[in-house]
Chains A and B, each alone.
Chain A
Amino acid sequence: MPPETSVEAHHFQALGTNCSLFGVGVSRSRLLQGEFWVHRLGERLTRFSPDSELSRFNASAGRWVDVSPELEALLRESLRACETSGGLVNVAVLASMQAIGYTRPLAEGRPTTTVAVARPLPPLPQVLEVRPGAGRLKPGAGIDLGGIAKGWMADRLLEELGSNALANLGGDLSAGGPGPAGAGWPVGLGGVTVLLRNQGAATSSVRRRRWGELHHLIDPRTGQPANTGLAEVSVVASTGLEAEVVAKTALLVGPDLAPVYCAAHALAWWLSP
């Protein structure tokens, strides 16, 4: 095994969570540029700011509006995620989020709503259309990009940071290259260390962002917080975004189907009831 090379690391707060960037042979200024990119794009994609690009897109439901290349890419990935998950990963959750009182970052105070009144989500392709440079939401629909954005951003960051780097945005991570010792990036998953090389990982859970009986992970079949018998799923897949989609889908299909689903779609996984 080759000698371990030094890793440049940078930790910061963004997207309402902890973020970390690592690189071998990557300058600190490049990691700082990565942080700046995360902040800048995060401000455009948050649903909590009325002036963000996403909020303006949600507010323009019913008509075609111009969208940035980044938002267009994320909307297209959202449609793809909805398709590959059989509709279980659906970003058109804004109405449900509002119904359960999740209308501001939890750091600003926990929601006071204790009873969820929500309806099943419509299939995303029925409420979201995307064409080059523009998008349109059906009136009444709204989206929250959530983990889709984090996984996608981790993958994009990796492209910017070089051939041997790792980006972790609140648990959605993407690892490229041989890592510090040549065998892959050592990453914690389910309490053990796994070596990732040109792979991504993500965790979906109902244990965090929780208040009372409610939490942030919406089951599109009910429009209410998921209650499938699984509390947490961690997954390794080929990219950070794919890991995010697989982890959320596995959690939503529940403990009976999740092992089979993960065996077909994940490279490694951990299920917690």
Chain B
Amino acid sequence: MRTVVLRAGATVLTLATTLLSAAYVTAHLKNPAAPLQPTVVKASTGSPATGPGGVKLGPSVQPGSGQPVTSTYAS
């Protein structure tokens, strides 16, 4: 008799856990439009201008017409 009660209790507990879990998950659906990972890059603020030689220039960098006093280069 005691074994039957224990089995019934375990079954009820399992079913209750399953139902409660399903109810919880259903009530807390994640936004399906949310990204799957953190954003890797920020959105660009505008299209850069393309200068001579394929150099891309954002709005805060202006092209110059004269000779440079120095350059960035690999060292």
**Does A261 lie at the interface of the complex (its beta carbon under 8 Å from any beta carbon of B)?**
yes
Complex contact A188–B68 (CB within 8 A):
yes
Interface size bracket, B side: 20 to 34
Residue of A with least CB distance to B59: A267
Residue from A183, A189, A259, A260 within 8 A of B71 (CB atoms): A189
Say whether B66 contacts A186, CB under 8 Å. yes
Known contacts A18-B75, A260-B41: A195-B64 contact under CB 8 Å:
yes
The answer for the CA separation of A116 and B62 in the assembled complex, in Å, is: 42
Q: How far is the CB of A252 from chain B (nearest CB, A)?
A: 14
Quick check: B70 and A187 within 8 Å, CB to CB? yes
B57 contacts chain A at the CB level, 8 A cutoff: yes
The answer to whether A268 touches B43, judged by C-beta atoms less than 8 angstroms apart, is no
How many A residues face the partner with a CB closer than 8 A? 55
Inter-chain contact B52/A191, CB cutoff 8 Å: yes
Q: For residue B69, which residues in chain A have a CB less than 8 angstroms away from its CB?
A: 7, 9, 22, 166, 180, 185-187
| Closest-CB distance, B24 to chain A (whole angstroms) | 34
CB pair A269–B56 under 8 Å, yes or no, is yes
Question: Which stretch (A42-50, A131-139, A201-209) binds chain B?
Answer: A201-209
A243, A264, A271: which has the most chain B beta carbons within 10 Å?
A: A264
Quick check: is A176 within 8 A (CB to CB) of the other chain? no
Known contacts: A20-B70, A188-B72. The answer to whether A270 contacts B61 by CB under 8 A is no
Any A CB within 8 A of the CB of B42:
yes
Query: Do most interface residues of chain A lie in helix, strand or loop, or is the interface mixed?
Result: strand
A195 to B70, CA, bound (A): 11
Asked if A234 is an interface residue, CB under 8 A from chain B, the answer is yes
Q: With a CB–CB cut-off of 8 A, which chain A residues contact B54? A: 190, 270-271
- Is the Cβ of A266 less than 8 Å from the Cβ of B64? no
Q: Does A82 contact B (CB under 8 A)?
A: no
Question: Which residues of the partner chain B approach A173 to less than 8 Å between Cβ atoms?
Answer: 70, 72
Tell whether, in the assembled complex, residue B42 and residue A171 are in contact, meaning their CB atoms are under 8 Å apart: no
Which residues of A are at the interface with B, using a C-beta cutoff of 8 A? 7, 9, 16-18, 20, 22, 86, 166, 168, 170-173, 180, 183-196, 199, 201-205, 207-209, 232, 234, 236, 243, 259-271
Pick 20 A–B contacts, CB within 8 A, sort by A: A22-B69, A22-B70, A166-B70, A173-B70, A183-B62, A183-B64, A187-B68, A190-B54, A192-B63, A202-B72, A203-B72, A207-B74, A234-B73, A260-B41, A262-B56, A263-B41, A264-B44, A267-B58, A268-B55, A271-B54
